[in-house]
A and B are shown apart, each in its own frame.
Chain A
Amino acid sequence: MLEAQSIITILFVSLGIIFMLVGSIGILRLPDFYSRSHAVSKSDTLGVVFVIVGLIIYEGFTLSSGKLFLIVLFIALSNPIGTHALARAALKKGLKPLLHDDKKGGETS
Chain B
Amino acid sequence: MNKLSLYSLSLSFISLMLFWVVMSGFFDAVHLTMGVLSVAGVMAINYKLKTHRFFEDDMDDLKELRYFRAVYYFFWMIYQIIVAGFHVVKVIANPALPTKLSVVTFKVDLPSAHAKMILGNSITLTPGTLTVDIDGDNFLVHALDESSYSGIISDEMPREVLKLFETEERQVISDIEITTKN
**A residues adjacent to B (C-beta < 8 A):** 18-19, 22-23, 25-26, 29-32, 34-35, 37-39, 41-42, 45-46, 63, 66-67, 70, 76-77, 79-81, 83-84, 87-88, 91, 96-103
Known pairs A34-B142, A46-B85; list 14 more (Cβ under 8 Å).
A22-B92, A30-B99, A32-B101, A35-B99, A37-B130, A41-B124, A41-B127, A45-B125, A70-B22, A83-B130, A99-B180, A99-B181, A99-B182, A101-B181
A25-B93, A26-B92, A46-B127 known; A84+B120 contact, CB < 8 A: yes
Q: Does chain A have a CB within 8 A of B144?
A: yes
Contact with A along B67-101 (1 / 0, CB 8 A): 00000000000000110010011001100010111
Given the interface pairs A46-B81, A103-B101, the reply to whether A84 lies near B130 with Cβ below 8 Å is yes
Smallest beta-carbon distance A50→chain B, Å:
9
Cβ-based interface call for B138 (8 A): no
**B interface with A by C-beta (< 8 Å):** 19, 22-23, 25, 81-82, 85, 88-89, 92-93, 97, 99-103, 120-122, 124-125, 127-133, 140, 142, 144, 179-182
Q: Contact check, B120 vs A35: say whether CB atoms are below 8 A apart.
A: no
Asked if B130 contacts A38 (CB within 8 A), the reply is yes
Docked CA distance A63–B19 (Å): 12
Task: Report Cα–Cα, A42/B129, bound state, in Å.
Answer: 10
> B125: which A residues are within 8 A, CB to CB?
41, 45, 76, 79-80
Closest-by-CB residue of B relative to A103 is B101
